[in-house]
Amino acid sequence: MEKIQCLIIGSGPAGYTAAIYAARADMKPVLYQGMQPGGQLTTTNEVENFPGYPNGITGPEMMLELEAQAKRFDTDIRFGFIVKVDFSGNIHRCWTDQGHEIQAETVIISTGASAKYLGLESEQKYLLNGGGVSACAVCDGFFYRGQEVVIVGAGDSACEEAHYLSKLCTKVTMLVRKDEFRASKIMAERVRKTPNISILFNTETQEVLGDGNVVTGVRVLNRSSAQEQIIPCTGFFVAIGHQPNTDIFKDYLHLDETGYIKYEQPGTSRTNIPGVFVAGDAADKTYRQAVTAAGTGCMAALDAERYLAAKH
């Protein structure tokens, strides 16, 4: 068992930014990297919208730089993840996958969210090789300027992303598996009214096609007519929702109906448990950007520092 001042769970931009601030405030933070060290950005190719990188940087490189910056101030960065917590007392108890118990005065949760994918082998192949599958239009849409893309999903995210892509791409084909949108009326209307978005209802993705390196099209099936067709495209966007990584906190923290951690007081990083703070996508289903995650990471470390100062 180990007693510490500040435990940070997760190693995306929120976690590392919290670590930089907490370490510089002498809180001697311990950071557990989680199952996917570096977080969602490690599946992104080029990051061109994070301020301070005028020539862009790859997602994995950016995360290594953030890690190095957190280490420079002596953050104790550990490989492994937290599997269980007990937030019932004044001191917050957390257990690692190795069975090690940590007792922390403050906890910063930056466990992020995971984009959902269809799970097709061909989709995963072109996702992992950076060949044209993406779950973030705002991050990757720019690379498909003047080209034709396909997006799957029918919720608010899919509509918002389809609309975003329609401004960059010559044609956006939207694949909706049912005969209706799930999105709010206003978002669905906006998509319907955009001339270069074509909506295919009752349509399922069967296979992402490519030349082995990059995406060249998508084979789809119309479920009503049982007709297959191939839609040529260079980018395949998946917008079927995200899953916040908050399951282990559900017995203690207030979550919304989709599992995102609720802020106790908007404009702060406080949760309903004193001394437990949240940053990044675990509490954000609206913005989901590296820069907003980093901003809330900073807020969480400052809130944790003030909490400790008031306590001692």
Residue from 94, 140, 284, 303 carrying the catalytic annotation: 140
Specify the residue, 49 or 286, whose C-beta has the smaller distance to ligand NDP: 286
Residue from 6, 94, 97, 136 carrying the catalytic annotation: 136
Q: Closest separation between CB of residue 139 and ligand NDP, Å? A: 15
Specify the residue, 23 or 238, whose C-beta has the smaller distance to ligand NDP: 238
> Contact 169/141 with Cβ under 8 angstroms?
yes
Q: Closest separation between CB of residue 201 and ligand NDP, Å? A: 10
Residue from 6, 139, 159, 169 carrying the catalytic annotation: 139
Q: Closest separation between CB of residue 180 and ligand NDP, Å? A: 8
- 140 as an active site residue: the answer is yes
- 139 as an active site residue: the answer is yes
Specify the residue, 142 or 164, whose C-beta has the smaller distance to ligand NDP: 164
Specify the residue, 24 or 285, whose C-beta has the smaller distance to ligand NDP: 285
Residue nearest to ligand NDP (CB): 155
**C-alpha to C-alpha distance for 231 and 310, rounded to whole angstroms:** 60
> Contact 141/166 with Cβ under 8 angstroms?
no
CA 2 to chain centre: 30
Q: Closest separation between CB of residue 183 and ligand NDP, Å? A: 7
Q: Locate tokens 């994070």: which residue?
A: 50
Q: Closest separation between CB of residue 116 and ligand NDP, Å? A: 6
- Residues in touch with ligand NDP (CB under 6 A): 118, 152-158, 160, 177-178, 182, 240-242, 285
Specify the residue, 101 or 180, whose C-beta has the smaller distance to ligand NDP: 180
Residues involved in catalysis: 136, 139-140
